[in-house]
Structures are given as C-alpha cells and as structure tokens.
Amino acid sequence: MDLKDLYRDVIVDHNRNPRNFGKLEAADSHAEGHNPLCGDRLTLYVNFDGDRIREAKFEGSGCAISVASASLLTEAVKGKSREEVRRLFDQIHALLTQHDADVDLAGLGKLAALSGVREFPARVKCASLCWHTLNAALSNATQPVSTE
Ligand code: ZN
C-alpha cells in the first residue's frame, strides 16, 4: 500500500465514521461555517480548560472531504493551546495550498492525509472550512464563516 492509498483510507474512514460528531452541550464557544462552492455546512463547538481546548465537536453536512477534515480536526486539536492550534492551522494551510510546503508530515499524524487534497484545487475549501470555522470559534466571532 503506498502513501496515497493510506491517505485515501483515512479520509474514507473519517467520512464514514466521523469522530466527535454531534452537538456539544454547554459549549464555551461555537461557530458556523459555510462553503457555498460545494454546499458544505458545519457548526464547530469547543470547550476550554484554561487556554487549552478540552473538547471539540462538530455537526453539519457536506462532502466527504469536508466531513473527514472536520473529524480529523476535532481529534487533532484536543488538548492544544490557542497558540498551538494557530501553528497547526498555518501548517494545514501550507499543506493544502503549496506543493513544496515545508511541512513535517510525520509530525501531523493522520492530518497528513489532507495533503492528498491539494491535487484537487476545487476541494481545498472543503478541507479548510472547518479550520477557518475553528479560528472563528477561538476568537468568539459572531458572524458565520464563509469561504467566499
Ligand atoms: Zn465540499
């Protein structure tokens, strides 16, 4: 099995069985995101423990990549501080948009599967929607996020 198959399997798995899917009751913060290009919609909920994310959940509907990306995100950001999340966001953004991105794939764990998305520029916004939405939730933005 080569790396591409492995990445595809991660996306398929997280689309079929999204982790942390559902509403987080009494969330400390939440934000809504919409990608009109594809029709993806999601709401992201976070609970904090001081500066760190204690819990992250999401609900909504969208294409396989948007759901898998949100599922991977909720697993990846648990326990991370706002600063760590900001750095992770920068890495994911580079991974999705730059072919020669200087990103430590091994350090990203399962999130490295998102690198396959850059072969499909039209789907980059599907994968990045949840990350923009998380940013909004972290900054307590009141406006829904749109990728347009
Ligand atoms: Zn999509």
- Which SS3 state, helix, strand or coil, does residue 139 take? coil
Looking up tokens 């594809």 gives 38
> Which residue type does 66 have?
S
Nearest to 66 by CA among 148, 127, 133: 127
CA 128–ligand 1 middle distance (angstroms): 10
Question: What pLDDT is attached to residue 78?
Answer: 97
pLDDT at 47: 96
The whole-angstrom distance between residue 107's C-alpha and the CA centroid of its chain comes to: 16
The 8-class DSSP code of residue 53 comes to E
Rounded to the nearest whole angstrom, what is the distance from the C-alpha of residue 53 to the centroid of ligand 1? 26
How many whole angstroms from 59 Cα to the centroid of ligand 1? Answer: 14
Taking only the tens place, the pLDDT of each residue in 105-139 is 888 999 999 998 988 889 999 999 999 999 999 98
Mind spelling out the 3-state secondary structure of 109-146? Answer: HHHHHHHHHHHCHHHHHHHHHHHHHHHHHHCCCCCCEE
CATH assignment, 3-23+31-139: 3.90.1010.10
What is the rounded distance in angstroms from the CA atom of residue 148 to the CA atom of residue 138? 20
Amino acid 123 reads R
What was the pLDDT predicted at 141? Answer: 67
What is the per-residue pLDDT for 102?
Answer: 84
What's the 42 CA to ligand 1 centre distance in angstroms? Answer: 11
Bridge partner residues of 27 (DSSP): none
Residues in the chain, pLDDT under 50: none
Give the pLDDT confidence score for residue 99 in this predicted structure: 82
